Amino acid sequence: MSQAPGAQPNPPSVYHERQRLELCAVHALNNVLQQQLFSQEAADEICKRPLSQLALPQVLGLILNLPSPMSLGLLSLPLRRRHWVALRQVDGVYYNLDSKLRAPEVLGDEDGVRAFLAAALAQGLCEVLLVVTKEVEEKGCWLRTD
């Protein structure tokens, strides 16, 4: 079929969710998948469920993006900023390597780091990035299959 000269072709139908609240991760997932598959509740459940399934020995480290309260001297302000925090195992012990701490904070074994992660996720508005080798990423072995 030919079009009349100067006629614009029909644009494809593109699914696009607009920003609502602070649900940009949910909107980004749905926009990439081109349909509304994820809700805030579903995304929250997915974040909580892989926590117990993480194969921590396969993970080099974790980077968390957390809400960080603001203060002016002793006065706490009603504003929230974001802060990135690193968690890492060294010689069998997990540490919180938050750059705001005077020294690394011992989290302990796998149970300790899972408890720290659960507490961070329970605060809400927390993002967790896994740092893994290319081999682990390609094999997808950062999750336990049992």
106 vs 96: CA distance, rounded Å: 6
22 vs 19: CA distance, rounded Å: 7
**Which active-site residues does the annotation give?**
24, 83
110 near 56, Cβ under 8 Å? yes
The helix/strand count (H/E) of the chain reads as 4, 5
CA 13 to mean position of chain CA atoms: 30
Q: Which H/E stretch holds residue 94?
A: strand 93-96
3-state secondary structure of 135: helix
